[in-house]
Amino acid sequence: MLSNLVAIAFALSSALVIAWGTVIRQRIAENARHGVMRTAMRNPVWWIGTVSAVIAYGLQLIALGFGTLLIVQPILVLSLMFTLPLAAWYQNRRMSSEELFWCSLLTLSVGVILVFGRPTGGITSPPLERWLPAFALGFALMAAFGVAASRIRSQRALLLGVVCGILYGYVALLSKAVVDTFTAAGLGELLKSWPLYALIFAAGAGTVLQQYSFHAGPLKHSLPAMKIIEPLIAFSLGYAVLHEQFQVRSVLGWLVMALAVATMVIATIVLSQKPMSTLPRVKVSTQPN
């Protein structure tokens, strides 16, 4: 119980930092006219947002060291909810009743998943035959949505957001594997393990892909896909690869869990559809200093 509480605390901290950093990086990408990554890297504010992402990821790793994917991933969805209170604070205004309603529903759904589901840990060193089918399916899905994004320009932001969500679901899985290896065997064994280098590659690719998805259209198109797909992929991989489980045995129990997940998805979509005027205004420049 204590380890789960520590995991929840660090995951909440990670979600809060993610909320702030995502807005900064999205605004820079949206204002870039040519060369998304080149423009972003020339802006000092982008580096501040990137450092915040690294800090958030460090907090997430600590959370995964104490808890399971099934505990940490739902809490990270709350980063979207944290965006709105931050916006209200920056603009010196009160949150609307609609914002409060959907934020409350999102929080309630995550709480039900954690408390009612009571996630349990799985295996720390899955055999290779568990990894290979999962990676094959992930590559196929990302390739399919990536091709669709290149051909359907009007939906490019949404489709790239889906690809990014899938990729970050795998980043979450690899992060858990890396943390478990380090905890069980130490740094020496970790440096010999392939998940560490797969994680470095996937995280780097995810950062670049996220920047392009932000550039492809408004945040309300790409962010919902990322925030919804990532935990669902992580849930599935936690079950299939790590053998983590929810302690739900009855049909009624699974109906409650399904309702909580559906509520989380709907609340995420509604909150992420809020116009950019409700988000914190961050002064950005597309010109190098």
Q: Is 285 part of a structural domain of the chain?
A: no
The two tokens of residue 183 are 């905890």
3 state SS of 245: strand
Residues in the chain: 289
Terminal-residue alpha carbon distance, the chain:
50
Q: Is 34 part of a structural domain of the chain?
A: yes
pLDDT digits (tens, 9 = 90+) for 228-262: 888 889 989 998 999 998 888 889 989 999 999 99
**pLDDT, position 283:** 43
CA distance 283 to 69: 35
Q: Is 288 part of a structural domain of the chain?
A: no
Q: Is 11 part of a structural domain of the chain?
A: yes
Q: Is 192 part of a structural domain of the chain?
A: yes
Q: Is 30 part of a structural domain of the chain?
A: yes
Range of the domain at 152: 2-278
CA distance 59 to 171: 14
Q: Is 145 part of a structural domain of the chain?
A: yes
Tens of each residue's pLDDT in the chain, 289 residues = 778 889 999 999 998 888 777 666 666 655 655 565 666 677 777 788 778 888 998 999 999 999 888 889 888 888 877 777 766 665 677 777 887 888 889 889 988 988 888 888 888 788 888 999 999 999 999 999 999 999 998 888 889 999 999 999 999 999 999 999 998 888 888 999 999 999 999 998 988 888 788 778 776 677 778 878 888 899 899 989 999 988 888 899 899 999 999 998 888 888 776 654 444 444 434 344 3
Total number of domains constituting the chain: 1
CA distance 170 to 44: 29
CA distance 258 to 112: 10
CA distance 244 to 250: 18
- The whole model's pTM is what? 0.79
Angle, in degrees to the nearest 10, between helices 251-272 and 97-115: 150
Q: Is 287 part of a structural domain of the chain?
A: no
Give residues with Cβ within 8 angstroms of 13, minimum separation 6.
59
φ, ψ for residue 212, nearest 5 deg: -70, -35
* The one-letter amino acid at 197: Y
